[in-house]
């Protein structure tokens, strides 16, 4: 534990940190609020440098699946570090830890996905998946198939390659011109349908817009379509049951790859190991991170289907590596995560407690300003709306939701307001108990009563 005072930490942060997501001028003058600096965290609780303890109701960035400061994961990292702190860097080689983890991972991924490349973050995972898709088509003799199609409201990362698949001017402005090869289609959001339709009395224009975009761009120029099976950063939005099967059929019809971005939804978050399993849809590439190590160490992976790997195989090498990609300590921790998840039945816990949490949140559904509640496993979200009758959202989108998150924090619960939609996201660690879930739901209801809405 540090003995540095909160005031000194704010001052050092102001002088030495290049922050993300806030005006730099204001930060350079004042630094961050002390309440934004975390001093320690255990189980499902965090504590800031002022000593305020609260439930991590969004698992930080929906990634601390096994709780904070898990001693078993710390021990796994230590044991590996004193055995071998880094592995070999030989093409085709690796460490015992990374190879053992790849084998263990293949036991829980969809049965057709058995090969993996390891990087450090979800953004890198997206970059790598796009590169794999383009390489695949080049090896297939179709190098002109390079475009990546994503959706409005999507989040796929903020590296220079992934951020153009991510939606939102705030994420993409001020960084130079957009490179060629990125296309976006309308979102799937039934409550605020971009086509003005009502589910199920629609023709799934949201899915059909993919076919229209492929036709417009030319199928011979499109490499892949990438999507989160359940919107994550947008605030937990679940598509209708028919959507993803239709997307898979369209990808097959036009001979493009389907990339499943499970960075937030993977590893039990939704009550199944991977969210795509809820629809029995088979992706060509699967991106994962966050829950791989329970966010104790940085690790991400790209799972490649057997068919795609076979199509990539030839005389040409796939040149893509990182000095610390698949770091042995990260992989050792990730292997321990799989052991703990199996032993403690955390996927099942997510499913069971997710139903309890959704039922608790649904008790707010009669409130005049609560709408569009979604939940799958320990992954839920809802909108605090201005007018239910007209489905009119508050503007600016974040002003009222932030009042709500401030109210929950005062009562000891940290939840997240989506920066893109303003939706409230609730996603506690998978090690939460039924008592924890009841406390979370009670605070949500109480906080709703504490804020003034018009």
> What CATH number does the domain containing 384 carry?
3.90.1150.10
By DSSP bridging, strand 380-384 and strand 370-375 are antiparallel
pLDDT at 322: 84
* DSSP 8-state code for residue 232: T
Let me know whether 51 and 85 are in one domain.
Answer: no
Residue 27 lies in a domain: no
Q: Could you state, in chain order, the average pLDDT of each consecutive group of 10 residues for the chain (454 residues)?
A: 87 96 93 95 97 97 97 98 83 87 98 97 97 97 98 97 93 92 98 96 97 98 98 97 98 98 98 98 98 97 98 88 90 98 98 98 96 98 96 86 96 94 96 98 96 84
Nearest to 11 by CA among 49, 46, 41, 47: 49
Determine which helix (DSSP H) or strand (DSSP E) holds 135, and give its type and residue range.
Answer: helix 122-139
Residue 246 CA to residue 205 CA, distance in Å, equals 11
Nearest to 452 by CA among 375, 377, 400: 400
Residue 20 lies in a domain: no
Residue 170 CA to residue 101 CA, distance in Å, equals 37
Give the residue from 327, 343, 359 where a domain finishes.
343
Let me know whether 326 and 353 are in one domain.
Answer: no
Let me know whether 365 and 334 are in one domain.
Answer: no
- CB neighbour list of residue 221: distance below 8 Å, 6 or more residues apart: 144, 145, 146, 147
Residue 189 lies in a domain: yes
Cis peptide bond N-terminal to 200, omega within 30: yes
Q: Under a CB-based contact definition with an 8 Å cutoff, are residues 214 and 149 in contact? A: yes
Let me know whether 90 and 219 are in one domain.
Answer: yes
By DSSP bridging, strand 53-56 and strand 113-119 are unpaired
Residue 380 CA to residue 240 CA, distance in Å, equals 15
By DSSP bridging, strand 222-227 and strand 147-151 are parallel
Residue 5 CA to residue 136 CA, distance in Å, equals 53
Q: Under a CB-based contact definition with an 8 Å cutoff, are residues 262 and 181 in contact? A: no
Residue 176 CA to residue 239 CA, distance in Å, equals 33
Q: b/e string for 90-128 if b means 16 or more Cβ within 10 A?
A: eeeebbebbebbbebbeebbbeebbbbbbbbbbbbbbbb
Give the residue from 315, 343, 371 where a domain finishes.
343
Residue 189 CA to residue 356 CA, distance in Å, equals 24
Residue 267 CA to residue 250 CA, distance in Å, equals 27
pLDDT at 356: 98
- CB neighbour list of residue 315: distance below 8 Å, 6 or more residues apart: none
Let me know whether 333 and 386 are in one domain.
Answer: no
Measured in whole angstroms, the distance separating CA 430 from the mean position of its chain's CA atoms is 15
Give the residue from 343, 368, 395 where a domain finishes.
343
Nearest to 349 by CA among 65, 141, 64: 65
Q: What is the CATH number of the domain that holds 208?
A: 3.40.640.10
pTM beyond 0.85, yes or no: yes
Let me know whether 112 and 185 are in one domain.
Answer: yes
Residue 9 CA to residue 61 CA, distance in Å, equals 22
- CB neighbour list of residue 347: distance below 8 Å, 6 or more residues apart: 268, 271, 272, 273, 341, 430
pLDDT at 72: 98
By DSSP bridging, strand 257-261 and strand 285-288 are parallel
Domain count, the chain: 2
State the residue range of the domain holding 426. 33-62+345-450
Determine which helix (DSSP H) or strand (DSSP E) holds 224, and give its type and residue range.
Answer: strand 222-227
Residue 437 lies in a domain: yes
Residue 11 lies in a domain: no
């Amino acid at each position: 534990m540090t003995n540095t005072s909160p005031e000194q930490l704010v001052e050092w942060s102001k002088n030495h940190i290049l922050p993300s997501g806030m005006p730099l001028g204001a930060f350079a003058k004042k630094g961050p609020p002390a309440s934004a600096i975390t001093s320690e965290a255990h189980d499902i609780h965090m504590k800031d440098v002022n000593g305020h303890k609260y439930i991590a109701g969004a698992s930080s960035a929906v990634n601390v699946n096994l709780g904070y400061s898990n001693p078993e994961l710390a021990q796994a990292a230590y044991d590996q570090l004193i055995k071998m702190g880094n592995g070999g860097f030989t093409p085709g080689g690796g460490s015992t830890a990374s190879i053992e983890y790849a084998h263990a991972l293949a036991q829980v991924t969809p049965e057709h996905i058995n090969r993996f490349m390891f990087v450090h973050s979800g953004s890198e995972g997206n970059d790598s998946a796009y590169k794999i898709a383009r390489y695949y088509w080049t090896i297939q003799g179709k190098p002109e198939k390079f475009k990546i199609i994503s959706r409005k409201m999507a989040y796929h990362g903020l590296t220079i390659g992934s951020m153009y698949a991510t939606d939102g001017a705030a994420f993409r402005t001020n960084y130079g011109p957009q490179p060629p090869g990125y296309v976006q289609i309308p979102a799937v959001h039934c409550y605020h349908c971009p086509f003005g339709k009502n589910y199920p009395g629609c023709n799934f224009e949201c899915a059909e817009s993919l076919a229209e975009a492929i036709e417009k761009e030319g199928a011979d120029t499109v490499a892949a379509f990438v999507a989160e099976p359940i919107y994550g950063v947008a605030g937990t939005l679940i598509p209708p049951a028919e959507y993803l099967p239709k997307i898979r059929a369209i990808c097959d019809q036009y001979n493009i790859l389907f990339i499943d971005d499970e960075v937030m939804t993977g590893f039990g978050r939704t009550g199944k190991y991977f969210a795509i399993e809820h629809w029995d849809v088979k992706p060509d590439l699967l991106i994962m991170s966050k829950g791989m190590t329970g966010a104790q160490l940085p690790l991400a992976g790209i799972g490649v289907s057997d068919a795609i790997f076979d199509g990539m195989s030839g005389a040409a090498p796939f040149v893509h590596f990182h000095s610390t990609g698949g770091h042995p300590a990260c992989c050792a921790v990730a292997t321990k995560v799989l052991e703990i998840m199996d032993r403690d039945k955390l996927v099942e816990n997510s499913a069971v407690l997710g139903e309890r949490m959704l039922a608790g949140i649904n008790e707010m559904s009669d409130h005049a300003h609560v709408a569009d509640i979604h939940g799958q496993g320990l992954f839920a979200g809802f909108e605090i709306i201005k007018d239910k009758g007209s489905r009119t959202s508050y503007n600016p989108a974040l002003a009222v939701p932030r009042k709500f998150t401030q109210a929950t924090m005062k009562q000891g619960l940290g939840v997240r307001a989506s920066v893109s939609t303003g939706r409230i996201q609730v996603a506690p660690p998978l090690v939460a108990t039924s008592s924890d879930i009841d406390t979370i739901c009670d605070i949500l209801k109480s906080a709703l009563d504490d804020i003034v809405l018009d």
